[in-house]
Amino acid sequence: MIDRNKLTSLHRKQRTIATTAKVSGTGYWSGKDVCVEFCPAPSGHGIQFVRTDLDPAVKIPALVPYRIEVPRRTTLVVDGQTVEMVEHVLAAIHGLQIDNLEVRVNTAEMPGCDGSSSDFVDALQMAGIVEQESEISLLIVTEPVKVGDDQSWVEARPSKHGDFSFKYRLDFGSDNCIGRETFSTTVTPDIFIKELASARTFLLEEEARWLRQQGFGKHVTFKDLLIFGEEGPLENELRFENECVRHKGLDLIGDLALAGCGIVGHFVAHRSGHRLNSALVRALLAEFSVQERLQRSA
């Protein structure tokens, strides 16, 4: 339980960027060229994607009610129009504690870049992050909430220190080189930049071959993301000894961003993915509103 004095200290001003920033690349799934333009937005705006290739343009809020289930990525939809693989973009925004942005894109899928959030973080930092007048809203976890089953699950717990932190347990078993990894950290902008932003998407070689057989990722090479063979990454090198579990933590941060507010809590995940991460956000928001959380925690 967080007392009134600590609750007051948790508040901060909302933030946006000082000027526009762009990231261009190719979608892993679609193979299409895409340009993402980050634009400043006023207090209270939140994070909204805008499909500028459509006439009229379609705005898609980065909120969990707009999420639909699509394998291996986080996808949002409004009026049948989607933005796809948004988790790495949202991880960069949430990890840097940016609250208000318009994210303009000229196709549905975000650029894969190197499979991490680094390019998005670099662009947002280059644009400059500025404070705004209004304070953020906070989702404060005051009691445990868990979703999943014995094989895979994710749980939100009250924070002992009044911050946002997580522990992720990755378990690929003992019959491949990824094996079991665990990573835990408090999430601040500095820690996100240094410890999480550059952790890349990874696949086992057999998964990558199957996806290519289905017609996906034919333009993607072993150097574009981490593909693991029997003895380690193929034609690539790890950035961290435990890069895989760090990337799962990055995905968790991106999915939790769909709460649409600041988060105070400790999250423990065991083999969780996008579906369970977003299910936990839904469960937390269904438990009680952000305003009720603030009152109950005080």
109 φψ region: left (φ > 0), alpha (ψ -120 to 50), beta (else):
beta
274 belongs to the catalytic site = yes
pLDDT of residue 71: 85
Kindly state the average pLDDT of the residues 84-111. 97
Who's near 122: CB < 8 A, 6+ residues apart? none
pLDDT at 249 over 90: yes
pLDDT at 40 over 90: yes
Kindly state the average pLDDT of the residues 35-44. 97
Who's near 231: CB < 8 A, 6+ residues apart? 177
Q: Please indicate whether residue 71 or residue 249 has the higher confidence score (pLDDT).
A: 249
- Pick the catalytic residue from 247, 266, 270, 274: 274
As a whole number of angstroms, the distance between CA 294 and CA 161 comes to: 16
Kindly state the average pLDDT of the residues 208-216. 69
Beta bridge partners of 269: 154, 168
Which alpha helices (DSSP H) does 152-198 contain, by range? 189-191
Cβ atoms < 10 Å from Cβ of 119: 21
pLDDT at 291 over 50: no
- Domain boundaries 4-297, corresponding CATH code: 3.30.230.20
295 pLDDT tier (thresholds 50, 70, 90): very low
Amino acid at 55: D
pLDDT of residue 296: 46
Classified as helix, coil or strand, 193 is: helix
